[in-house]
Structure 1
């Protein structure tokens, strides 16, 4: 107690001395700077006021509309040939190192975290307007008072839950606009992509922010953001000017992007007293169309430099004007070169021209946008980022193509062929997914899925499995007759009411294997199946918005419940009658903004098992073409032998994933500078001969790859340990 009074006496003495020294200047508008002793820690009494005020101010603004002017200069410090193969990269020209980019947009915000941007005009000196390696809007989503920044990418130092990760140093005391203002230095206690460092200026009267200057790292980007808040009662909680300095580094490529943003607020709505800023769970609040009314009308998008000059709120410098003049000259020279190249190609042998086109396809990605046909996207054929590895499936490679055609009334045609090869199993997989959305207001769509599935054995094997006791069970002692599978699924989907969808369709399979006398003595070598299918999916409290004639679901606070029923019937020479029923529930819960818990629970049954059938579940299956790491968020078993998926007429399972930036590696600060996320996995499965199977795992996520290690436990005994690895660079 005596130590506490001594500490308070010292603090009051320092404060009185500071006030006496500043008395002659209080009330003047010029900036008077008084430095604190070096490394002076911010007292808990001040931090408490800062946290308390930030929690209030984070909910003050209910929504706003603003005009946003962005101006940026891109400087190429160093590059090599690899930069051409980075997806969404700007189209850089060989001899040009400086580029200009400008845009004018309408920006709308609705609490708690809905941003909508309509680009009205955009010009640049790039060869194409499509390129980008990041979304600049991620760096503009800066509610400095919220618990997380930049779209939940970074933990805010003004949040009380983050104080264990930051150090706060009193740098100086300043007078700004006749108000006393603290300058506080924010330092992370360890280097992490989830933390920032820099300075923040806080008014001493109400602890609101005057300005901030933060720097950090995320993915392949080093960024620094400087911002000034508004100086009117309407804009004091909102940034009015921002400077963003971004450095992109990848395999000895170095690009610097310096952007400035001015926001002119046309409308600001404040929360009423006592109103909690969250999405209220009542039926009238599910439609968020008023928050998503801004859409980009590309037919009216201004891209002409002369027209943009009449809209520009601030004049350009002489150097910036020169960049646009140089672009016009390069465009003229490029057109002349294209004419000459076309003449030269006429004189080349056709085989040489063809080989050059094949070489381009191997290493280049393509985005083709045809106004009357649609858009086509394909990744390079030679692309190491399409490789993945798991202990269960080995090394896999996939190649995907996408075709989209969005019609004027919201109707959509989507076709996505995909091909993959498993090097461990030496199997080639291919599939085509096609969807035609004819009623976008109700998600009315017709879908077609065609491909070859996993190798599978028939229900005859189940009789062998049932006869084996758990103590002596082993797949190695069984004579498994594997069948190859070709499937066609045709379905129709419609949303009956908000959040409730009805899926009806047909599931057809052609399963075959090599005919031998030994096989023919037990089963046939070819089986066809024809099964009507019904699927009901319900998400209570689904939030959505209307984009023209198209309904876009946003999410819900409740889980999604799914019931999937299929019945095999004897038509068109099909064999086998069966009934399959699967039930499941899944949800991703956001905890403290950047922490997530995902769970998936489900069960499945095969009924009416008198005839031979194939145990082929929908929600419990081995995936032969993995899409990446996030396709497993619903819950899979990484170490479970693939033969178990078809080994029982029923199953019950549950999976959970906890994701956070700080779990086990909290004391290892050097690793946290590279790792963005840590994950804990747990899963349990009940089925005959596995009562239960339990699996735990730990994974990390970085901007280049995701990796995890998993341990399997069968009937109380640890049976397997393995890992999974996927490239995630430019896929997120």
Structure 2
């Protein structure tokens, strides 16, 4: 295994690119089902009286190092549509670089990784062949029960220490699978590539049981091995990776053309498979399809599944299910919330693209409905140039007059839990022009307009603690430190008209060109952004004057084997205030709707009361997050198998009256849900604990 570990990184990158013909044949058997199966996103629609289904696809597969696959389906046929996605991620089982440190798009830790000995135990099962052609069958087993680890065996060639065959088994909460890969012959061009796949799986969810089996063959051509570094001649920017990245759209190739597919099929059908096709043809031809039934069937799909509406020459509309319990989320701060989203795309000549994305959500604790429409038109994609328009309702905030009154309350009696503030509803419109000046340096020119309406008609109260002689304990009373006469005389509707500039710079920005479209890739260096906005009076009635500056600095450092370290620093301030204005920062704001595992990668405060986001004209904050698949849970074997990733959170905020606010957290991510536990501290004193919970099943 020492020799296998030594050669694996070299074999991982030895192939630069290839083209191949990929044939996949799959069968599924619905052993048990109930009504729940019709409400599972990504699940294909079963037919009454049918339990076995099959499908075949023939594709052109193009690979470019390090791990980019482009698959274009040329033909397909079968007894149903879409059962490939019964688990939502089946195709990744046929896109495997065996020598990579991770498998299935970074979901599994490979037993061939350089430090895999921390997680796997190896032993020789048997020795195959004579001294001139010796091979070792080596079994590997995970040391801990985890969904990131697999068990199985590999057959290793003793001469070049390459893998000839590998079989590994893994599982999630709903899916168990076994994948068998057979590699090309030693000395042949496809020696380091899989030539055959044999995948079996079992899907179980709330009484539904589905078995699946899939076989695949690859016929390679144009295999190119990577040249030594001193022989590679670069042209253009060293950050342009267009030569190893490529993407293209996959057309809808579903067709029922037996004669055509018979000419393509490299593996003949078994008698049982021929019988499945025959039975399906008879059932399809004998059962008349009622128009009303088709309409209701399509409507049912829209309720329970992600679906795409093809508008012919007018683009495509991507919709999330109308009834989807996995769009709910819960946190101690925001309570229960729900979200829904749509996405419209249309491509034009020159890779120009129009996107429109409406979204809506409801927060049950605050009893607030949120909606917004985001749209953008990439008119010069080679330079990242776009025009965007966004409108909707934003977070409710209070104005600076209340802030001025609150600052007079002594710290000794100030208690944010006893404040009843009049928040303003927000209706906003933002126009933006984006342009990439040079690689990694982006300039945004913004124009924002807000209309804020008072929800409490200027009333401001404090819940009395019982010390006031004029009120009973616990009853609301007007605070003697707050001049309510001033608040009552204020207008109840405010507008703002504010141009702004945002400058963002990422050094060492790698990218590739997909046609005329520039697609940015992660950089090894941090991203820094400067944000400026100035409110102008006189353009709209009751408009306010202010100036806002914000600086944001964030960086993600990959530590290998699915481990990441992230830090983020931010500062912001309102200056040159004149009259009434609203403290509403761009980078430091609360989130009211459910966000999953990638919620700014830990760049938010989970327990911070909504008051504090608008409590100061300036702020400074910092966040640190560490993510890894094995932190605390591996020591608890009974539950370690359910955890995909673990995180440690640290966040600090400095504003007046909070010097500092500190939040510590621990989170776990699973296939079904994400869960986090957080503790908050104000001014170095313990304040509270809380949790965050979001569904992730079928959303990863």
Report the TM-score when normalising by structure 2. 0.89
User: What SS class does the counterpart of residue 633 from structure 2 fall into?
Assistant: coil
Residues 144 and 487 (structure 1), Cα distance of their counterparts in 2 relative to 1, 3 Å cut = same
Aligned residue in 2 for 1:395 = 336
Question: Cα 1:413–1:321, aligned 2, differ >3 Å: closer, same or farther?
Answer: same
> Partner residue of 1:350?
none
> Does the 8 Å contact 2:73/2:253 carry over to 1?
no
Which residue, out of 94, 104, 108, partners 1:150?
104
Rounded to whole Å, the distance in 2 between the matches of 1:553 and 1:455 is 34
Is 1:501 matched up with 2:442?
A: yes
Q: CA deviation at 1:190?
A: 2.0
- SS of residue in 2 equivalent to 1:630: coil
Instruction: Compute the displacement of 1:679 (Å).
Output: 0.8
- Aligned residue in 2 for 1:536: 503
- Which residues in structure 2 correspond to 1:646-661 (within 5 Å)? 646-661=614-629
Shift in alpha-carbon separation, 1:206–1:268, aligned structure 2, 3 A: same
1:103, distance to aligned residue in structure 2 (A):
1.8
Match of 2:217 among 258, 262, 265: 262
Q: Does 1:309 align with 2:276?
A: no
- Cα deviation 1:617-664 (Å, max 9, x = unaligned): 010001122343322415001111110000111111111221111001
Following TM superposition, by how much is the alpha carbon of 1:403 offset from its aligned partner in structure 2, in angstroms? Answer: 2.5
Deviation at 1:468, TM superposition (A): 4.2
Match of 1:679 in 2: 647
For 1:108-507, what aligned pairs fall within 5 Å after superposition?
108-127=62-81, 132-175=86-129, 178-218=132-172, 220-233=174-187, 234-273=189-228, 284-293=237-246, 295-296=248-249, 298=251, 304-334=257-287, 336-338=288-290, 363=304, 366-476=307-417, 480-507=421-448
* Partner deviation per Cα, 1:351-371 (whole Å, 9 max, x = no partner): xx9xx9988765565432221
The separation in 1 between residues aligned to 2:673 and 2:293, in whole angstroms, is 41
Corresponding residue of 1:567: 534
1:336-382 CA-to-partner distances (Å, cap 9, x unmatched) read 3225869xx9xxxxxxx9xx998876556543222133323333433
Q: Is the 8 A contact 1:535 1:562 kept in 2?
A: yes
Q: Within 1, Cα distance between the matches of 2:96 and 2:567? A: 30
CA distance in 1, matches of 2:123, 2:82: 46
Aligned residue for 1:207, secondary structure, equals: coil
What stretches of structure 1 of length at least 5 have no aligned partner?
1-46, 346-352
Give the superposition deviation at 1:409: 4.0
CA contact 1:530–1:574 (8 Å) conserved in 2: no
Judge conservation of contact 1:87–1:133 (CA < 8 Å) in 2.
no
2:514 is the counterpart of 1:551: no
Q: 1:596 to 1:229 in 2, by over 3 A?
A: same
Question: Is 1:60 aligned to residue 14 of structure 2?
Answer: yes
1:99 corresponds to: 53
Alignment match, 1:32: none
- Residues 1:290 and 1:165: Cα distance change in structure 2 (over 3 Å): same
**Cα distance change of structure 1 residues 306 and 547 upon mapping to structure 2, 3 Å threshold:** farther
Q: Secondary structure at the match of 1:198?
A: strand
Q: Show the counterpart of 2:551.
A: 583
Q: Secondary structure at the match of 1:680?
A: strand
Distance 2:245 2:569 in 1: 33
Q: Does 1:631 align with 2:599?
A: yes
- Cα deviation, 1:96-125, whole Å, max 9, x if unaligned, reads 222222222222333322222222222222
Question: For 1:131 and 1:84, how far apart are their aligned partners in 2?
Answer: 14
* Residues 463-472 or 48-57, more deviating: 463-472
Determine if the alignment matches structure 1 residue 619 to structure 2 residue 594: no
Structure 2 unaligned regions, length at least 5: 460-483
Rounded Cα–Cα distance in structure 2 between residues aligned with 1:101 and 1:94: 18
Equivalent residues of 1:121, 1:303 under 8 A apart? no
One of 685, 691, 694 as aligned partner of 2:659: 691
Q: Residue 608 of structure 1: SS of its match in structure 2?
A: strand
Deviations 1:155-188 (A, max 9, x none): 1112231212111122111117951111111111
In the alignment, is the contact (CA less than 8 A) between 1:562 and 1:584 conserved in 2? yes
The answer to whether the Cα contact below 8 Å between 2:397 and 2:582 also exists between their aligned partners in 1 is yes
Normalised by the size of structure 1, how large is the TM-score? 0.86
- Taking the aligned partners of 1:263 and 1:491, their CA distance within structure 2 comes to 47
Task: Give the equivalent residue in structure 1 for 2:453.
Answer: 512
| Structure 2: distance between partners of 1:61 and 1:364 | 38
Query: Structure 1 residue 217: deviation in Å?
Result: 1.0
**Alpha carbons 2:428, 2:448 under 8 Å: kept:** yes
Q: Is the 8 A contact 1:90 1:133 kept in 2?
A: no
Do the aligned partners of residues 628 and 300 (structure 1) sit closer, same or farther apart at CA in structure 2, a change above 3 Å counting?
closer
2:28–2:210 CA contact under 8 A, matched in 1: yes
- Structure 2 distance, partners of 1:673, 1:253, is 21
- DSSP 3-state at the match of 1:139: helix
Q: Deviations over 1:474-513 (max 9, x none)?
A: 2256563321211111222222333222211211111111
CA–CA separation in structure 2 for the residues paired with 1:275 and 1:598: 34
* Structure 1 residue 397 displacement after superposition: 1.5
Does the aligned pair in 1 maintain the 2:41–2:304 contact within 8 Å? no
In the TM superposition, residue 253 of structure 1 has moved relative to its aligned partner by 1.4
Preserved CA contact (<8 Å) 2:344 2:357 = yes
Contact 1:59 1:276 (C-alpha < 8 Å) held by counterparts: no
Q: Indicate the residue corresponding to 2:481 in structure 1.
A: none
8 Å CA contact 1:431–1:451 kept in 2: the answer is yes
Shift of residue 695 of structure 1?
A: 0.9
Q: Distance in 1 between matches of 2:56 and 2:22?
A: 11
Over 3 Å counting, the alpha-carbon distance change for 1:589 and 1:478 in structure 2 is same
The CA distance in 1 between the partners of 2:667 and 2:246, in whole Å, is 39
Task: Name the CA shift for 1:292/1:177 in 2 (closer, same or farther; >3 Å).
Answer: farther
Equivalent-residue separation in structure 2 for 1:468 and 1:435 (angstroms): 46
Change (3 A) 1:304 1:497: farther
Residues 290 and 176 (structure 1), Cα distance of their counterparts in 2 relative to 1, 3 Å cut: farther
Counterpart position of 2:475: none
